[in-house]
């Protein structure tokens, strides 16, 4: 067999591509890494502080991997794990912040059950990434990961809204209100 050669012309990256693929994701990563470290430093003995640090760390992996996902694909396995971990870390955070949910306070290890779908999604996505029998199989697993992030986000905001209405603590209701308002403004 004769070698198959593909010539790829190199060009300058446009300002838009540089900004959307590098500046914004890395800027988000730096901000969230700083926020996570700051909250952990202030609240390292609390489950919410540790949970927020893990959420920020997973978000940094997913966000910083954006450039690699559009360029060399060197860190694709890390990115595959970071995406569902970000979502489930958010759902886990909802169970312990601003105050632990009643049943989590009663049975502390129950909060780890939200990680089972995440571990399954990561294992399946990693397994299907380079499946020689079906080279397009990874697409379905990535869609599953995005669905897991979406469901986790709904759980987070749903639990915050529920606590804002049902909590007997005025401080918890106020914290939920601030988070929901800030999130609404951020997504808008």
81-115 tens-digit pLDDT: 999 999 999 999 989 888 888 887 888 888 889 99
Q: What is the C-alpha to C-alpha distance for residues 14 and 84, in angstroms, rounded to an integer?
A: 30
- Other C-beta atoms lying within 10 Å of the C-beta of residue 84: 29
Judged against a pLDDT cut of 80, whether residue 16 lies above it is answered with yes
The position carrying tokens 């709904």 is: 154
Give the model's pLDDT for residue 3.
86
Judged against a pLDDT cut of 80, whether residue 1 lies above it is answered with no
Q: What is the C-alpha to C-alpha distance for residues 35 and 56, in angstroms, rounded to an integer?
A: 8
19-40 tens-digit pLDDT: 998 999 999 999 999 999 999 9
Give the model's pLDDT for residue 73.
84
Give the model's pLDDT for residue 92.
92
Non-local CB neighbours of 162 within 8 Å, separated by 6+ positions: none
Judged against a pLDDT cut of 90, whether residue 118 lies above it is answered with yes
Asked if 37 and 53 count as a contact pair (C-beta separation under 8 A), the reply is: yes
What is the overall mean pLDDT for the chain? 90
**Which pTM was predicted?**
0.84
- Burial of 128 (C-beta count, 10 Å sphere; 0-12/13-18/19+): buried
Tally the residues of the chain: 188
Q: Percent of the chain scored above 70 by pLDDT?
A: 100
CA dihedral sign of residues 67, 73, 78, 81: positive
Judged against a pLDDT cut of 80, whether residue 188 lies above it is answered with no
137-163 tens-digit pLDDT: 999 999 999 999 999 999 999 998 998
Give the model's pLDDT for residue 97.
85
Asked if 160 and 180 count as a contact pair (C-beta separation under 8 A), the reply is: yes
Q: What is the C-alpha to C-alpha distance for residues 146 and 87, in angstroms, rounded to an integer?
A: 9
Query: What average pLDDT does this structure show over 71-90?
Result: 92
Query: What average pLDDT does this structure show over 51-71?
Result: 89
């Amino acid at each position: 067999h004769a070698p198959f050669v593909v010539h790829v012309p190199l060009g300058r990256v446009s300002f838009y591509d540089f900004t959307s693929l590098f500046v914004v994701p890395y800027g988000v990563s730096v901000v969230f890494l700083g926020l996570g470290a700051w909250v952990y430093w202030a609240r390292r003995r609390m489950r919410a502080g540790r949970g927020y640090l893990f959420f920020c760390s997973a978000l940094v992996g997913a966000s910083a991997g954006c450039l690699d996902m559009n360029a060399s694909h060197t860190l694709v396995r890390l990115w595959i794990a970071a995406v569902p971990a970000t979502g489930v870390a958010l759902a886990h955070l909802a169970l312990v912040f601003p105050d632990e949910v009643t049943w989590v306070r009663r049975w502390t290890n129950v909060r780890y059950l939200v990680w089972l779908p995440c571990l399954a999604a990561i294992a399946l996505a990693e397994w299907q990434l380079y499946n020689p029998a079906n080279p397009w199989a990874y697409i379905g697993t990535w869609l599953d990961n995005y669905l897991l992030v979406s469901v986790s986000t709904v759980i987070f905001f749903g639990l915050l809204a529920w606590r804002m209405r049902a909590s007997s603590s005025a401080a918890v209701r106020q914290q939920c209100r601030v988070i929901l308002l800030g999130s609404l403004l951020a997504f808008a």
